[in-house]
Chains A and B, each alone.
Chain A
Amino acid sequence: MSEYTAKDFKKGQPRWCPGCGDHFFLASLQKAMAEIGIAPYDTAVISGIGCSSRLPHYMATYGMNTIHGRAAAIATGCKIANPNLTVWQVSGDGDGLAIGGNHFIHTNRRNIDLNMILLNNRIYGLTKGQYSPTSPRGFVSKSSPYGTVEDPFRPAELCFGARGHFFARAVATDAPGTIEILKAAQAHKGASVCEILQNCIIFNNGTHESVHTPEGRAKNAIYLEHGKPMIFGENKEFGLVQEGFGLKVAKIGENGITEKDILVHDAHCEDNTLQLKLALMEGPDFPIALGVIRDVEAPTYNDAIEEQIKDVKSKKTYHNFQELLMTNDTWEVK
């Protein structure tokens, strides 16, 4: 049992718009941290800039609300300098994938042991409503009055393309679903990306409409669980099956399909082909995948660096500055 409650992680009064998805996420994060049970003083929450990046101000942990786009890089230095800390990096879609896109992919590639939260509302909220790198093609916003003429990033694709080993998704309004993936992210050693589908009630209301409510999720989402058949639908009447190179939704009981024919989710599978397909599913033909989509063990950068230091220490004969000096070609003047 954890000795902490959510209250131990709470601080101040959040200033987000009433009804903003960030409120829901914050509460879930605090609950998840309490359940995880790591002390607030051993926890650092590091964000960039944007609505969601205000989050560390409402945490009773150590925290930094830094500069636009650099949260992952700053969190990287923080974790490497003190690997005993549990580091959460919080960014929005603009912060994490536009200005901070380079850091996002490289943090995944290096596999730094960070919990990387991506609050995706598909809009720039703080600057009052411009399209973001996750806004769909044709999206009309203040900076795209005639609709965007570019395709969005799909966060999972970026994460996988950067050789990410953990990707999970939850809807901000779904507390149990969010808490579950946050705990899984913490349990995973390495960079753990959690995409949170978050609603910006002011500038992009309804962007995740189909899965916003429990009823919506029952209809339009699938909760993935490792080792469990991928079944969904209001009455658990649908399942995912493989067809050729792709996935297909099949109705159980029709065309001879039984529960046995339904694919079993394997989050630990090294090969990410099917996991990517799951992550990219969208309506109306497919349900949106929620839960832990990929969770594969791999060596972390921070562990590897510690090991290398230990190893080199045992092999080299100099261990302080004075000894280092004497490794050079020297001469004595008497």
Chain B
Amino acid sequence: MTKNANVEDLDHVVVRFSGDSGDGMQLAGNIFSTISATVGNDICTFPDYPADIRAPQGSLTGVSGFQVHIGAGKVFTPGDKCDVLVAMNPAALKTQYKFCKPTGAIIIDTDCFNEVDLKKAEFQTLNAIEEMGIKNDVIAAPITQMVKDCLADSGMDNKAILKCRNMFALGLVCWLFNRDLTVAANMLKEKFVKKPGLAESNIKVIQAGYDYGHNTHSSVSHTYTIETKEKKGKGIFMDINGNKATAYGMIAAAEKAGLKLYLGSYPITPATDVLHELAKHKSLGVTTVQCEDEIAGCASAVGASFAGALGCTSTSGPGICLKSEAMNLAVILELPLVVLDVQRGGPATGLPTKSEQTDLLQCLFGRNGESPMPVIAAISPTDCFDAAYSACKMALEHMTPVVLMTDAFIANGSAAWKLPNLEEYPAINPPYVTSEMKGNWAPYQRNPETGVRYWATPGTEGFCHILGGLEKDNKTGAISTNPENHDLMTHLRQDKIDKIPVPDVEVLGDKDDAELLIVGFGGTFGHLHASMDEMRAAGKKVALAHFKFVNPLPKNTASVLKKYKKVVVAEQNLGQFAGWLRMKVDNFAPYQFNEVKGQPFAVSDLVKAFTEIYNK
């Protein structure tokens, strides 16, 4: 690869691809992040979908974005603002410019900045750049025309040709960051394995974009490299988003436990991709049933668990409302069940495509009666795998429903993931009845240490029994309205959950002498970590305790929270986790940072708020 004369070495860079929903911004972004990952950069991506499915072409509501953060060292978030903004049309420029740093470069397709398109994006004049007062470097390239010229002989029709515009922009970005195009070519060949002609055309366009940058040196002063400084460790990697990682975690756990994986589900944004992913893997024996409603999704999973499978159900907040009845049934039956909540903005239909952490109290408490249920909150796209595995293991070994919480941000965001080796994962041993128990076994007899009852599945001779949603005798399982027994059963169900062992919460950063401890849970880990890093780089003593196991809380929770002078709990709700901690830790009075915008935190906002607390 020929190197440009002016090459600047960067630590990390954020590129945002934006255009019409149909412009293929996600594919361009994905390829760019994978190319970067293959040279050892760390990556973190986040798609920003429009709320409307098929908004009119070129309209402001139809813009979709895909942000890629690549770093020489570890990156924790997709980045607040971008260094390079690709805007394929005026609507993209108008809506996405706010994500661009003042120093960022902007790439636009001038062929799409004609009168009609400008009008669609509600511009008043014919000069969008001037009208918006943009002072950034702008690479204004006639992308559409060049793509047409490039593919003139391809035999493709105009529509198909226009679909390749994203690859030109990608080529240009690759030139800007001195990226090798071989990986992109391979990825496209793979993607269009059944249409080699299409792969060829796309590759040709990427090259054209790259050459255009190289030949014209465009209007930027230099290009960049991001040399890998901190290798992620050896191994085979892939780019994975949270929903896929969740599905993989369930598959892995079922295989480890030697059980059939059953998913009862109902389509709901942003959880549906888990159903899509699992539905593909029939060759692994995975059974997915798209049920008539959320209720049946969960209820059928309870039925599947009763029959001896690993019953799972996937949804988002509004679906949890409907599933809570069957989740509660699983509590009293004491059957394994994994309930996935990919959180989105609420209440009610709320913001279906946006992300927040507002379902915590619903997951912890949103059921009638005393209904203790473990809650695990995945902390990053790749952690969704481990969190899902832990949730399945916990459900199966402790005979309980478990809520696995993720959110739209980590579900759709992706990062480089080192392929796990299932052999290194802990065994999953459900408490099956043994043949010795035959004859003197009762359904609600418990393991004295764990408080867990034993699992007899239909088809096993000698263990016929009935389970039910009515309160039952603490041994035989027969219906019982005895007050003492109900009190005992209420305690037994609670104790069983309280006894589940979970790993200690780790304190990161200045764990010995931090002036401020940042506390969070679930999908905000990356942003909280990045804000801690930034504050420490500015000479402040800061630590982070980020919780993945929410119920039961780790044993060291109180000692960690009490150790530091100042504690701030930061979450994307009005303080649900802080409230939960206060309920569990006496005299805990943290500062709070709460924001419910449906967007990921901005690290800059966090740093500002935390610094204020720090300086108080």
Q: Are B464 and A64 in contact (CB under 8 A)?
A: no
**Known pairs A77-B304, A333-B231; A41 contacts B459 (CB<8 A):** yes
- Shortest Cβ distance from A150 into chain B, in angstroms? 23
CB-CB under 8 A from A321, the residues of chain B are 248, 251-252, 255, 284, 422
Q: Does any Cβ of A come within 8 Å of B307's Cβ?
A: yes
Pick the residue among A39, A62, A76 that contacts B466 (CB under 8 A): A62
Q: Does any Cβ of A come within 8 Å of B199's Cβ?
A: no
Q: Are A315 and B283 in contact (CB under 8 A)?
A: yes
CB-CB under 8 A from A76, the residues of chain B are 289, 291, 296, 300, 303
**Known pairs A74-B300, A76-B300; A325 contacts B238 (CB<8 A):** yes
Q: Give Cα A308 to B593, complex, Å.
A: 50
Q: Give Cα A313 to B286, complex, Å.
A: 11
Chain A 117-163 residues near chain B, CB threshold 8 A: none
Q: Are B326 and A324 in contact (CB under 8 A)?
A: no
CB-CB under 8 A from A328, the residues of chain B are 238, 240
Pick the residue among A64, A106, A319 that contacts B283 (CB under 8 A): A319
- Shortest Cβ distance from A300 into chain B, in angstroms? 13
- Shortest Cβ distance from A154 into chain B, in angstroms? 21
Interface mask (B455-478 → A, CB under 8 Å = 1, otherwise 0): 001111111111111100000001
Q: Does any Cβ of A come within 8 Å of B343's Cβ?
A: no
- Shortest Cβ distance from A288 into chain B, in angstroms? 31
CB-CB under 8 A from B296, the residues of chain A are 70, 73, 76, 102-103, 106
CB-CB under 8 A from B467, the residues of chain A are 63-65
Q: Which residue of A lies closest to B232 (CB)?
A: A333
Q: Are B262 and A81 in contact (CB under 8 A)?
A: yes
Pick out which of these stretches binds chain A: B13-21, B32-40, B371-379, B401-409. B32-40
Interface mask (A280-308 → B, CB under 8 Å = 1, otherwise 0): 00000000000000000000000001001
CB-CB under 8 A from A65, the residues of chain B are 466-470
Q: Does any Cβ of B come within 8 Å of A40's Cβ?
A: yes
Interface mask (B269-309 → A, CB under 8 Å = 1, otherwise 0): 00000000000011111010101110110011111111111
- Shortest Cβ distance from B89 into chain A, in angstroms? 29
CB-CB under 8 A from B304, the residues of chain A are 77-78, 80-81
Q: Does any Cβ of B come within 8 Å of A185's Cβ?
A: no
**Known pairs A102-B292, A322-B422; A331 contacts B38 (CB<8 A):** yes
Q: Which residue of B lies closest to A311 (CB)?
A: B282
Pick out which of these stretches binds chain B: A42-50, A188-196, A222-230. A42-50
Q: Does any Cβ of B come within 8 Å of A332's Cβ?
A: yes
Number of A-B residue pairs, CB cutoff 8 Å, is 205
Q: Does any Cβ of A come within 8 Å of B506's Cβ?
A: no
Q: Are A330 and B300 in contact (CB under 8 A)?
A: no
Q: Does any Cβ of A come within 8 Å of B187's Cβ?
A: yes
Q: Does any Cβ of B come within 8 Å of A210's Cβ?
A: no
CB-CB under 8 A from A331, the residues of chain B are 34, 37-38, 183, 236-238
Q: Does any Cβ of B come within 8 Å of A2's Cβ?
A: no
Chain A 82-137 residues near chain B, CB threshold 8 A: 82, 84-85, 102-103, 105-106
Q: Give Cα A103 to B303, complex, Å.
A: 14
Q: Which residue of B lies closest to A313 (CB)?
A: B283
Q: Which of A64, A65, A75, A308 has the most CB of B within 10 A?
A: A64
Q: Give Cα A265 to B470, complex, Å.
A: 44
Q: Does any Cβ of A come within 8 Å of B195's Cβ?
A: no
Q: Does any Cβ of A come within 8 Å of B234's Cβ?
A: yes
Q: Are B284 and A319 in contact (CB under 8 A)?
A: yes
CB-CB under 8 A from A33, the residues of chain B are none
Q: Which of A85, A305, A319, A333 has the most CB of B within 10 A?
A: A333
Q: Are B329 and A67 in contact (CB under 8 A)?
A: yes
Q: Does any Cβ of B come within 8 Å of A218's Cβ?
A: no
Q: Does any Cβ of B come within 8 Å of A164's Cβ?
A: no
Pick the residue among B255, B465, B469, B478 that contacts A62 (CB under 8 A): B465
- Shortest Cβ distance from B150 into chain A, in angstroms? 25
Q: Does any Cβ of B come within 8 Å of A60's Cβ?
A: yes
- Shortest Cβ distance from B487 into chain A, in angstroms? 22
Q: Are A74 and B283 in contact (CB under 8 A)?
A: no
Q: Are A77 and B458 in contact (CB under 8 A)?
A: no
CB-CB under 8 A from B421, the residues of chain A are 322
Q: Which of A70, A326, A331 has the most CB of B within 10 A?
A: A331
A-B contacts besides A82-B309, A331-B237, 19 pairs, CB < 8 Å: A42-B459, A46-B303, A65-B468, A70-B325, A74-B302, A78-B304, A78-B306, A79-B303, A80-B304, A82-B458, A103-B295, A309-B287, A316-B282, A321-B284, A324-B248, A328-B238, A329-B238, A333-B231, A333-B235
Give 18 CB contacts A-B under 8 Å: A42-B458, A46-B303, A62-B466, A63-B467, A65-B468, A66-B302, A66-B469, A70-B295, A78-B458, A79-B307, A103-B299, A106-B291, A309-B287, A320-B284, A325-B248, A325-B420, A332-B237, A333-B236
